[in-house]
A and B are shown apart, each in its own frame.
Chain A
Amino acid sequence: AQSVTQPDIHITVSEGASLELRCNYSYGATPYLFWYVQSPGQGLQLLLKYFSGDTLVQGIKGFEAEFKRSQSSFNLRKPSVHWSDAAEYFCAVGHPSGTYKYIFGTGTRLKVLA
């Protein structure tokens, strides 16, 4: 079955510390991969995406993610977290022939300590 697992429901980091959010997927083929961020009561904003090519992708707000085929993972990283990064982060996969339907993980809520 197709699924996305975000094993960490909550993560707390201090401002300025590094961050890694985990994402593992189960899919029949290598899917398109996405990370979205959602602030409370808001819609989703795309942080970055992976379709093919270089497995380290850069996104907005200083985020990056690395696709590891052997581990079926697409972890999100940021070297230095800012207080404004506090939000919920969702990993998603889409079919490589056309992303008509995304499958989302349950999200990781990030708290940033001043």
Chain B
Amino acid sequence: DTGVSQDPRHKITKRGQNVTFRCDPISEHNRLYWYRQTLGQGPEFLTYFQNEAQLEKSRLLSDRFSAERPKGSFSTLEIQRTEQGDSAMYLCASSLGGGAEAFFGQGTRLTVV
């Protein structure tokens, strides 16, 4: 296994468009997390899944943001009607249950123009 994989690595989109990012966790990891990182800041927690269940989503930034993990494997993060303020690095991480460290992917850098 090569670690957490995110696709695409970079995305440039026009304001108002919808975007979707994909994350493939480490195969045996049942927990998957999404974070957002803006310039000069540390990552900010958005949501997490245990298997296919989304257990915490209160930190999703608005109702324009949604995440899924339909079969408990890969996950997608969708942003509808993008705004310039959505420009950031979106990081995915996975872990083997609670009490274990999270391994991060390389991130998807979103630029909204």
Q: Is the CB of B55 within 8 A of A104?
A: no
Interface Cβ pair total, 8 Å cutoff:
66
Taking the complex as formed, is B31 at the interface, i.e. its CB lies under 8 A from any CB of chain A? yes
Q: Would you give the 0/1 interface string for B18-62, flagging 1 where the beta carbon is closer than 8 Å to chain A?
A: 000000000000010101000011111100101000011001000
Residues of B within 8 A of A (CB): 4, 6, 31, 33, 35, 40-45, 48, 50, 55-56, 59, 91, 93, 95, 97-107, 109
- The range of chain A's interface size is 20 to 34
Q: Of the 9-residue stretches A11-19, A66-74, A75-83, A93-101, which lies at the interface with chain B?
A: A93-101
> How far apart sit A42 and B37, CA to CA, in the bound complex (Å)?
11
Decide yes or no: A99 and B45 within 8 Å by CB, A42-B107, A43-B105, A44-B91 being known contacts: no
In the complex, the answer to whether A46 meets B41 with C-beta atoms within 8 Å is no
Residues of A within 8 A of B (CB): 4, 32, 34, 36, 41-46, 49, 51, 90, 92, 97-107
